[in-house]
Each structure stands twice: as C-alpha cells, then as structure tokens.
C-alpha cells in the first residue's frame, strides 16, 4: 500500500483529479464575470445617467434603452448563476464519485490484507478493532479522497478570483482584503497541528479504553471473585480522566482557532467601510464598485473557511491513513500470489518432511522447537502429546495455516510454504477444535470448501446485463474483484458429483460419516414448506399424518401425542396456540405481539379473561425475576427457559415495584400489556406452575371459538388454522405429521414418538427430502443456532466433502463422547483410504492401527511408536435436549447432599430447567449397561434397583421420595451399573448433563459436594455389589 494519502490518491485517480482541475480552471472566468455584472447593473444601468452614460446605450452592437439594458444585465447575471451552479454540481458529483471509488478500493485492499494476515496476528488484533478500522475509520477518508486536489484548487481559485476582482476595482481595497491573511496562514496551521496531535492521542487512548472495557466484561467473574471492583473502577477513572484532559485541550484550541478566524474576518470590513467610504466621498471610486467589492468580500469567507477546514481534514486524513498503514501493512503478510494464484500440478503425495521446524511467538517463546519428522504419503499417521506441547501448532504448520519461523515443511523437493492456497486449500483439509461456521445455511457451510472460483457464469439479459456490465467496470476500475457472486461457485466435480442430485447425495453421505445426518433430519422436521410450491410433498405429508396415527395406535402409545381437537384444550400446546388453534402467519399474531394486539385484547375483554391474564402475568413476572435476575445476559438459560429476555428484566422489575406500591388496577396500559403477554407463553404440561386449571381451560376454549368466528376478513390470512384434512403451511413438517403436540410428561415420549415418526417417513421415502430441507436451515452468525458438537461435526464434514489428499484432524472431535469419537474416526479413516490422514488427538495417547505415531512434547518430536490407548472424552459440554419445569420440588433438591450448598434461587432455576416423567409399575427407568446422560430424583412413588448377573437378577435397594440416582452419568459416559424399574406409580425429575454442568460451573462448593457424593456412591455401590455376590455364593 502507498505510504501517504496523497500518493494513494494520485496513483489511483490521477486522470479524475486532472479532469477536476481542468473543469475548475474553466469555471473561474464565468465566476469572475458573475462578480462584475452587479457592478455594471448599479453603475451603468441604474445610475448610468448620473455617471454620464447616454441611452440608448450601445452594448456589444445592440442599442438598448435603460430598462432594456437593466433587464439584459439581470438576464446575464441569471445565466451566470445557472452556469456557475452547473459547474459546481458537476464538480461535486464527479469528485464524490472519485472519492467513493477510492474509498471502495481502500476498503477492498484492507479486507484483502486481513485475509493475508498470519493467523497469530488475530490473537493480537481484536475483531472489533479490524471491523471498526475497515468501516468506520475509513469513512471520513472517502470524502477527503475526492477533495484532496480539487477542493484546494477550486476554493483557492475562487479566492484568487475574488482577490483579483477586488484589486481590479481598487488596489487599496485589495490590499485591505489580504492584509490579515498572512497572520491567519501562519497562526491557524500551527494551532491545528497541536489539535491534530491531541486527536491522535485521543484515538489511541479510546482504543485502549475499549480494550479494557472488553476485558472487564469478559473477566467480570474474576473481578467479583477477587474483590477487585474498586481497583478496576480506579483504572477506568484514570483512563476517563486522561480522555477528558485530551478532549478539554482540544476544545480550548479549536475554539481559540474559531475565535481568531471570526475576529480577523470581522476586522477586514472595518477597512472596507473606512477606506472604501473615503474613496467614494473623494470621488475616486463609484458606489457600484464599493458594493461589488463588499459583495465579493462577503463571498471570500466561504472559500477561506473551506481552505482552513481542508487543512484540518488533510491532517486528520493523513493521521487516519498512517494508522491504517501501521495496522495493515505487516512485514509477514501472505504473498498476494499465494492468495490469488492458480493451482499447479503438485500433488500431496510422496515424502513429507519436516526439517528442524520451529515456530516462535513474538516474545521469542518457541512453541515448536526444531521438530523433525519424515513420512511417506499417502499414510495414516498421528501426532500425540500433552496439551501445550506444540502438537496442534505443528499440525497447522503442515496444513500451511502457520508459517515456520525456522526450518521448513516440504513435500519432496517442494517447500509447502511456496505453494499457493489454490493447491493447499483444495488438496489439504484442516479441522480444528473451535471451527468457525459462517452465517448462512447448513448447505452453504457444507459446500464452502468447494467455492474456489466461479464454475458457471450467470447469463444476464436486457437491462440486468447492462447493469452487470456497469458493476464489472466499476469493480475493475477500483481494483476490486470482478467475479460474480451470483455465479455458481460450487465445484461439484471436486466432491465427486456430476449433477445437483449427486451433490445432494454426497452431502448426505458426509453428514452420515460425521454423525450429523440425524441432527439435520431433526432440523428438517422443524422446517416449513409452501404447499402451492410443492403440492406433491404436501400430499405425501398428509398421507404420513394418517399413517402416523395408525402406527401410534398399533404401538399402544397413542396418548404420547396429544392431537389437535377444536373442542379440547391441548395441555402440551401454549395458551396462545390454544386460543389461535392455528399457527401465526407473519408477526401480527406472534406470541411476543399478542399483548399489544387490539383484536386479541378485545377478545380477552369480551370473554372476561383480561384481568385474569394480568394476574397470572404478574405471577409469571415474579417467577421469572426471581429465577433469572442473578444470571448474566449471555447465559444459555435465558433463551432456553425464560419467558422474558435479559434486556427486559429491569422493565419487569420496575413494573412489579409499581404493582407493590399502587396495585394492579392502577397500572398503565403499557405495564398491563407487558404482563398480559406472559401467560400466552405458558405450556401447562411443561411449566408446572399451577396457573392453569379446568376453569381456565374452559375459558380459553370459549376464547378460541370467539377468535375464529369473529376474526375480521383482513386478518384471516394472518392465521393458518388447524384442520385435520389440510396441510398447515405455517407449521413445521413434524407438527403437520403429528397434528398435535408430543406429551412431554410421558416418560420416553420423545424417543418413542421419534422412532415411529422416523419409520413412517422412511417407509414413505421422505427422509432424504426432509434432510434436504434441513440443509437449508439458517445457522446464524458463527453457527450460533447449532450446538458446539454440531458445529464440530459440520466442520469435519465440510473438510471431507472436497475429498482432500491430506486430511488433518486437530482435536476436532473433542466435544463428542468416546464412543461417538471412535465411530466418527473409523468412518473418516475409511473415507481417507488410499489418501493421507493426520490425527492430533485431545489426549496424550491414542489407540488405533496407524502407520506411524509421532510423540511431541515441549515443541519437539521425540520419535515414533506403533500405537497407544484411545483418547477418552475431554468434553464437558455434551449435546443434550432440554425441557423445563418448576414447582414444589425445590425442597426435594435442597434435601439432597449434592445440592445442599446451592442458593435457593439456584435450586429454583435447576428445578425449572429439569423435566418430569411418569412411569407405570414395572416400567424400566434405566437399564444396566446403557450409557446415560441424566440423573433422576424421585418425586413420588418407589423405584427398585436390580443388579443383573449371570446367575440372575438381584434386588439391591428401593429408591424412595427425595432419593437421587444415576448421578454418575452427569460426569462421564460410563454405562449404568444397575437396572432401575418403577415399583409403584412413579414420578421422577430428570437433571440433564449440560444443565448440571452449567450450574456447578457457577458454584464451586457444589462441585466439591458432587465429588464427595460420587465417592460415597461408589463406596456404597461397591459394598452392595459385594453383599449381592456373597448372597449368590451362599
């Protein structure tokens, strides 16, 4: 990049700048004449007889009377105004376009450099800083680029023209006009340089403040844990004080500059009135000339101020540009040809050699220190070692994501660092522990690794073709990429597919390889389709609805799905769904908007429910505030369980305070609307809050009838009602097939209903279509709508689909349990048969038949070995499914030693985030040998614990109310050590693993209690097993 802002401007807009200067020079004569015309109007047309002019007057060959002469001069003045305005309009638009083109070029260059940053640079540069510099901090430069040469030439030309005009009228007035300019020209820039220096200090200081605020927010838990809040506040006070002092100095100097400018500008007219008046009185100057000079001087201030402002903008632009250069012009940028170069014929096969390879941090610490290895590719090999030993960085050196600071990584005679990304990015795949998932669909992310260059261009026609040609010309003229983002970029052949159908098959294949197919299938079930666009699929889904009901009946689990019935209240649907008895279309009847919906509020008033909704809303608000007020705004529980958002919490706290002080009846309409909104979100079977009784259900059914009967014609399209024979376009595929809600209180309903649903969809040949719909699911920025495990799996599938010659897996399966890791790893190795595969496991050892295993510790490779044991699961965050509940069970949890230290508010939250299940006598709760992911607390009834042995079943103990079992599943994927069945009618609370880990992470004492409880349980289990075995022998 050019080192100076003017170098940048002149290099990339030389022609445009010259055009602007030529147009500026052409405009100045017209401007001069526009200044002279008023003088002629006064001296010749109006006061011509007094000045000895005889009429008719010969004006360029035309004999004109006084009035005609006046009108001609006025017309000429008007024409000159239009001409000068036209010049100004052209110059403004042309230089604006020139400036925007340069701004576009600069931003593109900066973004291109970001893509060329070495990866360690991103640890030193925050995302927010880069985004701000590329977008916000470059914005003022766009305006300056256009003005860089044109503004001083145009405004300077106007100023010189005005000065010349005044000298032509009288040299004394001309001298008076410019007498004070040398003072301003010397003083103002000197002061401005001081302001600019302070401005630069302000920018740097504010950036450091932003970083410290970010640290304080991220490390808030450490601040509270170490009682350092006063230290932090003192630090912020010092930084804010420094910013205040800088800004205060800037204000003083800026306003002093303004004071000097205003004073000198008003001092000059004193000379005009005194000297000019004296000349008119003496008869050495006409009144018209004096008026023309005064008018000209009135116009002098504008270009002079523009020139002074230009100097300030120039200095600001210089500083900003230099700061950009400092941040983006790094010495170790990836070479430009490595980023954009075309692939050569190098293949990732042959002898891979790492020769004395080193990687040093900025402080000189060597993460990889002289590591060497040699292996023939294709091969399946591994690099193992302790965490922090350099194995991950070494794998990134092989992937060419990091560049060695010493030694080299070569493939035969070819240094990998010399290959362009068009080689390494297509033949080498790398999947790490924390992959990034881009905004877009699952399909977009899965195919991301196939989008190297446009494969098929879009054929445009007519006006769209002309518009595209303009876009290409603009892109090329600004140094941007002219490639069409709307073209087909997906290289099907790289995935082993020739057609779009084959590509879909390949996508589904790789989803299956990484164990993500079922997840995408489940996501597909939650998608919607438009029957008018896909009538055939809609008809098949209606057929599946009938088969689903028959299969549920055959399996004697018909009550596991509560069907939609216009005459019955559905306890597994929300109150809003029960009133609408349909699915909202658009935002009008979305549950968040019902509290402000005039039609719905009128309906509640009509059936006498509005006051009851307000009372229930108050109770719900109290519960939500009580449960969630201690949680940070980014806590997962807000989205999963809360009826309100973290931003709304203070507003509801204020409403509850007003209720306490004044009562419900005196609340404003706005406050009432907030409370009325909450009961609509209640799902009685899921939220055990005791707020929905039989009487309330009957009133809701009455409201349902009134809602559909009286719905205005203009609102009919806003709701898709449930009708047994029709496909509901606003509901998901799953809801259309079930035509009801899963009974969440039925133990195992999710698994059993899911199994039957999968059978029906499979029998009808719809599974692939459902998966294809799931591929279009929008994952949001960073894949936020996917779980961490799903993101890892998607990244691995993305790496595999381009069928790389070398696939590097760097702890990319750490979120999976050990069995899943083993299964996925076997599938990956099968996919890479005949090709190369490098595994970097989470653990220090591995188990598997690898061609070679290298051990790495302290940045050095100590040798190779055949194999060692398989990594155990290192993840504390398994993927689980969560549903909530809340009631009297808090006391039950408080009585359990494991949770005894928990604050009561935390126990409420744990209860609210747990599920309730009911079991009939003899029904199996957990089975010995199965891997579990939840623990259970007995709420009502008894459960029998049996040990399954080769000699038969032995009863160990009876679990009763308040007993906890299955807690080992919360800490590891160990198989269940016993079978537990319901001895009587049994009601259990289940605690999911991810909820449990979230809670103990915030309560260290609970973690200690868990350790103690697990140890006691192991000791007790060992004792019981010994007793059982002794009884068998006897």
What local confidence, expressed as pLDDT, does residue 876 receive? Answer: 40
DSSP single-letter state for residue 975: B
Distance CA 954, CA 883 (A): 34
Contacts of 848 (CB under 8 A, 6+ apart): 382, 825, 829, 839, 867, 870
Residue 150 forms part of a structural domain = yes
Give the CATH number for residue 415. Answer: 3.40.50.300
- 541 sits in the region (left: phi over 0; alpha: psi -120 to 50; else beta) called alpha
Asked if 49 and 154 sit in the same domain, the reply is yes
Contacts of 263 (CB under 8 A, 6+ apart): none
Taking the CB of residue 792, how many other CB atoms lie within 10 A of it?
29
Asked if 859 and 901 sit in the same domain, the reply is no
368: β partners = 359
937: β partners = 964, 989
Axis-axis angle for helices 500-513, 788-800 (nearest 10): 130
From the DSSP assignment, how many helices (H) and strands (E) are in the chain? 35, 24
Distance CA 457, CA 455 (A): 7
Residue 694 forms part of a structural domain = yes
Asked if 30 and 139 sit in the same domain, the reply is yes
| Last residue within a domain, chosen from 687, 721, 755 | 721
Residues of the chain predicted below pLDDT 50: 865-887
Asked if 1013 and 978 sit in the same domain, the reply is yes
Asked if 34 and 155 sit in the same domain, the reply is yes
CB 443 within 8 A of CB 775: yes
Residue 883 forms part of a structural domain = no
Q: Domain total for the chain?
A: 4
| Last residue within a domain, chosen from 721, 737, 759 | 721
Contacts of 729 (CB under 8 A, 6+ apart): 528, 529, 530, 531, 532, 585, 720
Residue 710 forms part of a structural domain = yes
* Model pLDDT for residues 19-49, shown as the tens digit of each residue: 999 999 999 899 888 878 887 888 788 877 7
Asked if 576 and 664 sit in the same domain, the reply is yes
Q: Please state whether beta strands 380-384 and 836-840 pair in parallel, antiparallel, or not at all (unpaired).
A: parallel
What local confidence, expressed as pLDDT, does residue 178 receive? Answer: 67
DSSP single-letter state for residue 488: B
CB 646 within 8 A of CB 633: yes
| Last residue within a domain, chosen from 108, 141, 169 | 169
To which residue do tokens 């699929």 refer?
537
What local confidence, expressed as pLDDT, does residue 935 receive? Answer: 86
Asked if 6 and 155 sit in the same domain, the reply is yes
Residue 818 forms part of a structural domain = yes
Taking the CB of residue 230, how many other CB atoms lie within 10 A of it?
9
Asked if 33 and 91 sit in the same domain, the reply is yes
CB 749 within 8 A of CB 577: no
Q: Which residues of 793-814 are buried (b: 16+ CB within 10 A; e: fewer)?
A: bbbbbbbbbbbbbbbbbbbbbb
What local confidence, expressed as pLDDT, does residue 869 receive? Answer: 34
The domain of 590 spans 569-721
> DSSP alpha helices (H): ranges in 341-461?
391-398, 421-427, 442-446
CB 828 within 8 A of CB 837: yes
What local confidence, expressed as pLDDT, does residue 913 receive? Answer: 78
What local confidence, expressed as pLDDT, does residue 146 receive? Answer: 83
pTM summary value: 0.71
Give the CATH number for residue 959. Answer: 2.60.120.10
What local confidence, expressed as pLDDT, does residue 951 receive? Answer: 78
* Model pLDDT for residues 655-664, shown as the tens digit of each residue: 899 989 888 8
CA angle 259, 264, 268 (to 5 degrees): 150
Would you give the end-to-end CA distance of the chain in angstroms? 88
Asked if 844 and 979 sit in the same domain, the reply is no
Closest to 753 in 3D by CA, of 761, 935, 717: 761
Asked if 932 and 826 sit in the same domain, the reply is no
Axis-axis angle for helices 669-677, 649-662 (nearest 10): 120
Residue 343 forms part of a structural domain = yes
Residue 611 forms part of a structural domain = yes
Backbone φ and ψ of 811, nearest 5°: 50, 30
Distance CA 557, CA 762 (A): 19
Distance CA 805, CA 448 (A): 17
Residue 485 forms part of a structural domain = no
In Å, what is the CA distance from 920 to each residue of 295, 924, 958, 961, 984? 100, 9, 16, 16, 7
- CA 114 to chain centroid, in Å, comes to 18
Asked if 993 and 898 sit in the same domain, the reply is yes
987: β partners = 918, 940
Tokens linked to 475: 């892109």
CA angle 930, 933, 939 (to 5 degrees): 100
The H or E element spanning position 240 is helix 229-271
CA angle 817, 819, 820 (to 5 degrees): 65
Contacts of 552 (CB under 8 A, 6+ apart): 558, 560, 561, 753, 756
Asked if 858 and 950 sit in the same domain, the reply is no
């Amino acid at each position: 990049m050019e080192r100076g802002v003017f170098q940048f401007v002149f290099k990339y807009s030389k022609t445009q700048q010259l055009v602007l200067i030529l147009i500026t020079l052409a405009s100045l004569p017209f401007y001069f004449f526009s200044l002279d015309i008023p003088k002629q109007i006064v001296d010749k047309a109006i006061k011509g007889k007094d000045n000895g002019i005889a009429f008719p007057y010969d004006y360029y060959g035309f004999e004109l009377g006084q009035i005609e002469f006046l009108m001609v001069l006025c017309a000429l003045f008007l024409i000159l105004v239009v001409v000068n305005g036209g010049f100004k309009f052209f110059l403004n638009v042309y230089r604006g376009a020139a400036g925007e083109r340069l701004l576009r070029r600069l931003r593109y260059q900066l973004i291109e450099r970001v893509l060329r940053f070495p990866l360690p640079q991103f640890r030193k540069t925050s995302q927010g800083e880069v985004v701000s510099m590329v977008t916000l901090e470059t914005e003022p430069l766009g305006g300056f680029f256009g003005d860089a040469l044109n503004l001083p030439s145009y405004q300077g030309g106007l100023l010189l023209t005005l000065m010349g005009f005044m000298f032509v009228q009288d040299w004394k007035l001309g001298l008076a006009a410019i007498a004070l300019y040398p003072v301003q020209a010397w003083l103002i820039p000197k002061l401005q340089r001081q302001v600019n220096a302070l401005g630069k200090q302000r920018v740097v200081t504010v950036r450091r403040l932003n970083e410290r605020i970010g640290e304080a927010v991220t490390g808030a838990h450490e601040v509270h844990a170490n009682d350092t809040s006063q230290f932090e506040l003192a630090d912020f006070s010092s930084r804010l004080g420094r910013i205040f002092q800088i800004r205060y100095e800037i204000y003083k100097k800026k306003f002093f500059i303004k004071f000097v400018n205003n004073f000198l500008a008003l001092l000059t007219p004193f000379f005009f009135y005194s000297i000019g008046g004296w000349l008119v009185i003496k008869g050495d100057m006409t009144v018209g000339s004096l008026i023309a000079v005064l008018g000209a001087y009135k116009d002098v201030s504008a270009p002079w101020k523009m020139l002074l402002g230009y100097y300030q903008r120039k200095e600001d632009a210089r500083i900003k540009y230099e700061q950009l250069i400092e941040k983006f012009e790094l010495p170790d940028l990836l070479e430009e040809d490595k980023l954009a170069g075309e692939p050569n014929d190098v293949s990732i096969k042959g002898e891979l050699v790492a020769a004395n390879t080193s990687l040093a941090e900025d402080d000189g610490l060597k993460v990889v220190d002289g590591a060497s290895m040699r292996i023939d590719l294709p091969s399946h090999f591994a690099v193992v070692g302790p965490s922090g030993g350099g194995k991950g960085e070494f794998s990134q050196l092989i992937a060419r994501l990091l560049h060695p600071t010493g030694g080299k990584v070569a493939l035969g005679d070819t240094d990998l660092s010399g290959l362009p990304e068009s080689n390494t990015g297509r033949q080498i795949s790398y999947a790490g522990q924390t992959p990034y998932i881009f905004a877009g669909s699952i399909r977009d992310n899965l195919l991301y690794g196939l989008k190297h260059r446009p494969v098929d261009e879009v054929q445009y026609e007519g006006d769209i073709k002309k518009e595209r040609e303009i876009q290409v010309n603009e892109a090329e003229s600004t140094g941007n990429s002219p490639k069409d983002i709307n073209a087909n970029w997906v290289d099907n052949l790289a995935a082993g597919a020739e057609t779009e159908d084959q590509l879909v098959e390949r996508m589904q294949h790789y989803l299956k390889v990484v164990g993500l197919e079922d997840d995408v299938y489940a996501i597909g079930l939650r998608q919607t389709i438009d029957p008018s666009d896909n009538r055939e699929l809609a008809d098949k889904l209606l057929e599946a609805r009938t088969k689903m009901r028959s299969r549920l009946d055959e399996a004697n689990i018909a009550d596991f799905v509560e069907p939609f019935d216009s005459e019955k209240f559905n306890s597994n649907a929300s109150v809003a769904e029960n009133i609408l008895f349909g699915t909202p279309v658009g935002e009008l009847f979305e549950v968040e908007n019902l509290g402000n919906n005039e039609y719905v509020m009128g309906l509640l008033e009509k059936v006498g429910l509005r006051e009851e909704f307000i009372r229930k809303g108050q109770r719900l608000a109290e519960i939500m505030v009580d449960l969630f007020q201690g949680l940070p705004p980014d806590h997962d529980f807000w989205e999963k369980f809360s009826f309100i958002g973290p931003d709304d919490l203070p507003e509801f706290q204020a409403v509850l305070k007003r209720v306490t002080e004044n009562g419900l009846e005196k609340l404003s309409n706005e406050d009432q609307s907030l409370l009325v909104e909450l009961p609509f979100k209640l799902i009685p079977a899921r939220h055990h809050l005791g707020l929905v009784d039989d009487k309330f259900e009957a009133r809701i059914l009455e409201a349902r009838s009134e809602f559909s009967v009286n719905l205005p014609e203009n609102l009919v399209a806003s709701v898709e009602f449930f009708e047994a024979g029709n496909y509901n376009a606003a509901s998901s595929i799953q809801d259309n097939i079930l035509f009801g809600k899963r009974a969440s209180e039925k133990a195992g309903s999710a698994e059993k209903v899911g199994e039957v649903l999968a059978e029906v969809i499979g029998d009808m040949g719809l599974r692939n279509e459902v998966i294809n719909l799931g591929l279009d699911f929008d994952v949001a920025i960073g894949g936020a709508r996917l779980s961490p495990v799903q993101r890892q799996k998607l990244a691995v599938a993305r790496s595999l689909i381009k069928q790389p010659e070398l696939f590097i897996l760097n702890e990319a399966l750490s979120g999976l349990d050990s069995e899943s890791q083993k299964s996925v790893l076997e599938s990956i190795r099968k996919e890479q048969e005949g090709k190369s595969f490098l595994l970097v496991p989470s653990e220090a050892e591995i188990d598997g038949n690898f061609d070679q295993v290298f051990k790495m510790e302290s940045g050095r490779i100590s040798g190779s070995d055949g194999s060692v044991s398989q990594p155990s699961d290192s993840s504390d965050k398994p993927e689980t499914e969560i549903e909530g509940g809340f009631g009297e069970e808090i006391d039950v949890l408080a009585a359990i030693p494991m949770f005894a230290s928990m604050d009561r508010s935390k126990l409420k939250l744990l209860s609210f985030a747990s599920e309730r299940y009911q079991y009939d006598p003899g029904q199996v709760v957990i089975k010995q040998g199965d891997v579990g992911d939840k623990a259970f607390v007995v709420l009502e009834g008894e459960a029998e614990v049996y040990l399954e042995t080769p000699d038969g079943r032995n009863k160990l103990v009876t679990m009763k109310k308040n007993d906890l079992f299955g807690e080992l599943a919360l800490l590891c994927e160990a198989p269940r050590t016993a079978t537990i069945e319901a001895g009587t009618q049994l009601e259990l609370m289940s605690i999911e693993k991810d909820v449990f880990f979230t809670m103990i992470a915030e309560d260290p004492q609970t973690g200690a209690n868990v350790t103690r409880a697990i140890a006691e349980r192991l000791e007790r289990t060992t004792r019981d097993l010994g007793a059982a075995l002794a009884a068998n022998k006897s």
